[in-house]
């Protein structure tokens, strides 16, 4: 944020009370990113009056691009008007990613992948992953947010996920082999750099196969069904980004409607919203918190949509230890920079993850029942590369303090939230 205020101050000092028009716009510092794309995203018109607020907002938009680590602008006075110069600092965007998680008495699970976030210099994302969580899975992604214009884009995803899932029955727990094979297509729309919409249609097949454990005559041991869903995503991002320091508020909404081709299965809906807040504390500190509120159609089914899981919401809890039709999760942590040397950053953090769930077919009182509450404090460390997009290697250790808790490590690429 400081660089934006400085740029605005410099431009106002340079021009005083005189009105100037834009006669030239240039971009420097980019080697991989296409200049034509950056100018399209800058979206300033020649001949218009210089507006320091618009210039600062454009720089903020450039900083949000995965291929740009930092951006700023200068205004040069010319005899016939003003020359606007945007300078960008690029970062490497072809990177691996990994999530590794394990807890007491559980096998190691992980997801490994490669992604290019600035494919062809057009800020397109192309990537894929391999996952091992008892069984093998993989997925592919293509995302082009500026494919048609600075506001309109396209995203296509394919996944073939297979996991061993616990199913919680009235008389005990069963384990099922679960497979979800899906393809989804999104239309992307960004009316401004703070607001992003995505509307998608997905076709998928779910396949449950009983492995071992308890049984229930009302719960099938084999289930294969074709489904489709409509998904609406909306993100409001009012965060000031200064390299790895964040300050501000972000809200992410996810709404889904699911319809089955099997007439015996009723339509299903779910939605959740992440409210995320960041605050810079001094020169090295960063407070971060995320509140997730989720609700789904309250069907008394063992295949409820909201999972309690290491890699999703509570660090150290285990790999999918429970499920529910409602979810309230609060993640809070304090990040402190221990070392900052040129490209290398070492950061430590202390956190508390907590949450509660509504049982399938249950009531809202389930949220305040002690058996549904999980509280996991812990500590972690981050190793970052400042010149590579999202190159944050994290290790967290969570230890539960509520009854029947576990403990464990969670490894990954990128901040937990």
Highest mean pLDDT among 204-208, 250-254, 300-304: 250-254
In 3D, which of 276, 298, 300, 271 has the Cα closest to residue 287?
276
263: pLDDT strictly greater than 80: no
pLDDT over 90 percentage in the chain: 70
pLDDT value of residue 16: 44
Biggest CA pair distance of the chain: 85
CA distance 326 to 140: 29
94-413 is a CATH 3.30.470.20 domain: no
What residue segments make up the domains of the chain, in order of their start?
A: 2-90, 94-413
Q: What is the pLDDT of residues 155-186, one digit of tens each?
A: 999 999 998 888 878 788 899 999 999 999 99
pLDDT value of residue 219: 84
42: pLDDT strictly greater than 80: yes
Q: What is the DSSP string of 331-358?
A: EEEEEEEEEEETTEEEEEEEEEEEEEEE
Tokens of 247: 């300050």
- Min mean pLDDT across 108-117, 147-156, 274-283 is at 108-117
Can you give the pTM of this predicted structure? 0.83
The residues near 79 (Cβ < 8 Å, ≥ 6 apart) are none
- Structural contact between residues 155 and 186, judged by C-beta atoms closer than 8 angstroms: yes
Q: Give 239's pLDDT tier (boundaries 50, 70, 90).
A: very high
Q: Which CATH architecture has domain 2-90?
A: Roll (3.10)
């Amino acid at each position: 944020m400081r660089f934006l205020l400085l740029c605005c101050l410099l431009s106002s000092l340079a021009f005083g009370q005189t009105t100037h028009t834009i006669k030239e716009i240039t971009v420097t510092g980019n080697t991989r990113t296409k200049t034509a794309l950056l100018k399209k995203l800058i979206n300033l018109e020649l001949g218009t009056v210089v507006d320091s607020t618009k210039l600062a907002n454009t720089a903020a938009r450039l900083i949000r691009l995965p291929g740009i680590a930092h951006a700023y602008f200068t205004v040069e006075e010319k005899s016939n008007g003003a020359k606007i110069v945007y300078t960008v600092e690029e970062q490497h965007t072809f990177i691996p990613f990994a999530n590794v998680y394990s807890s007491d008495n559980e096998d190691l699970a992980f997801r490994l992948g490669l992604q290019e976030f600035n494919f062809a210099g057009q800020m397109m994302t192309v990537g894929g992953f391999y996952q091992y969580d008892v069984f093998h899975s993989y997925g592919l992604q293509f995302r082009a947010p500026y494919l048609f214009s600075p506001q309109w884009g396209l995203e296509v995803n394919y996944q073939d996920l297979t996991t061993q899932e616990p199913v919680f029955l009235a008389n005990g727990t069963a384990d099922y082999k679960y497979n979800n094979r899906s393809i989804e297509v999104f239309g992307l729309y960004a009316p401004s750099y703070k607001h992003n919409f995505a509307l998608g249609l997905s076709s998928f097949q779910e396949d449950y196969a009983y492995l071992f454990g308890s049984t229930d005559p009302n719960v099938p041991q084999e289930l294969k069904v074709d489904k489709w869903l409509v998904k609406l995503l909306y993100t409001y991002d009012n965060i000031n980004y200064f390299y790895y320091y964040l300050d501000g508020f972000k809200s992410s909404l996810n709404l889904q409607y699911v319809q089955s081709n099997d007439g015996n299965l009723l339509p299903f809906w779910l939605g959740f919203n992440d409210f995320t807040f960041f605050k810079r504390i001094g020169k090295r500190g960063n407070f971060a918190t995320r509140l997730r509120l989720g609700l789904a159609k309250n069907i008394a089914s063992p295949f409820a949509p909201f999972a309690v899981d290491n890699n999703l919401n509570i660090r150290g809890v285990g790999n999918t230890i429970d499920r529910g039709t409602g979810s309230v999760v609060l993640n809070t942590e304090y990040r402190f920079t221990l070392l900052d040397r040129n490209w290398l950053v070492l950061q430590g953090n202390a956190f508390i993850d907590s949450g509660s769930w509504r049982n399938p077919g249950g009531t809202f009182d389930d949220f305040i029942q002690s058996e549904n509450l999980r509280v996991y404090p812990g500590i972690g460390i981050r190793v970052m590369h400042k010149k590579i997009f999202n190159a944050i290697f994290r290790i967290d250790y969570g230890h539960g303090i509520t009854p029947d808790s576990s403990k464990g490590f969670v490894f990954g690429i990128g901040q937990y939230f």
